[in-house]
Amino acid sequence: MSQTATDVIRILIVDDHPVVRAGLASMLGTQAELELVGAAPSGEEALRMLDTLHPEVILLDLRMPGMSGVAMLQALKASGRPVRVIILTNYETDEDIYRAVQAGAQGYLLKDTSLREMVEAIRAVHAGKRYIPRHIASRLAERMVRTNLTSRELEILKMLAKGPTNKQIGHALGISDNTVRNHVLKIIEKLEVSDRTEAATTAIQRGLITVDD
C-alpha cells in the first residue's frame, strides 16, 4: 500500500551542529512515513519556523547556545502549540532527563540511538504516547521521588566537591561548622549515599552540580 499524505509525520530537527542536522536528515529521509519539513540551528529559529512549517514532531537538542532545549520546551508549552517533542541528546544525567520531561518533552533519546528505535519513538510520540527507554525511565522515576535539595544544600554540595572542611565551608558562608555538618548529613540522607565524598561524586554524575561550579 502506498504512503498517503495523511500518513506522513512532519518532522522538524533543532540542533546547533550542522553535521548532526545533516546526518539526521539523511537517516530520516529513508523513511517513507516521515517528512522532514525543516532543520533549525537554534531554538529561537525553530520557534520562528513553526507557523510556516507546521511540524508534528520536533527532534530537539538539549544543550544549545542561546535558547536551550528546556527553554524551547517551556516556550512551546506557553504557546499552546500541539507539536510534540522528543529530546535527542548526548546527555543522560538525572537532572537533564528530569528538567526536559518536566518542561514537556514526550520522548528522550540519546544521539547514538538506532534508526529503528528513533522511528519507533517518533511513531509513539506522534500517537500521543511517551517514549523513554527503560534505563532512562528508571532514572527519571528515582529522580522524581527523591526530595529536592534546598538552595543552601546545593550551595554546600558544590563546595563539598572542592574538598574543604566543614569549618572552611562555614567560614565562607558565615555559618557555624555545626550547621554545615547538619546540612551535610541532610544531603547524604537525600542522595542516599554513605559519606560526603560519595555525595559530591553522585551529585556530579546526576547532573545536580558540575565540576566547573
Helix axes 18-28, 115-126, angle to 10 degrees: 80
Tens-digit pLDDT profile for residues 19-55: 999 999 999 999 999 999 999 999 999 999 998 999 9
User: In the prediction, which pLDDT does 2 show?
Assistant: 44
75-78 long-range contacts, Cβ below 8 Å, gap at least 24? 75/43, 75/47, 76/47, 76/104, 77/103, 77/104
Query: pLDDT tens-digit profile of 104-124?
Result: 999 999 999 999 999 999 999
Domain boundaries, the chain: 5-144, 147-205
Which residues is 58 bridged to in the sheet?
12, 85
Q: Give whole-number Cα distances, 209 to 67, 153, 181, 202, in Å.
A: 20, 11, 19, 9
Pick the CATH number of 5-144 from 3.40.50.2300, 3.40.50.300, 3.90.1150.10, 3.40.50.970: 3.40.50.2300
Q: What is the pLDDT of residue 1?
A: 40
Spans in the chain with pLDDT lower than 50: 1-2, 213
- The C-alpha cell at 102 is 518536566
pLDDT score for 203:
86
Q: Is it true that domain 147-205 has CATH number 1.10.10.10?
A: yes
Cα–Cα distance list, 180 to 125, 166, 169, 170, 176 (Å) = 45, 6, 7, 6, 6
pLDDT of residue 28: 93
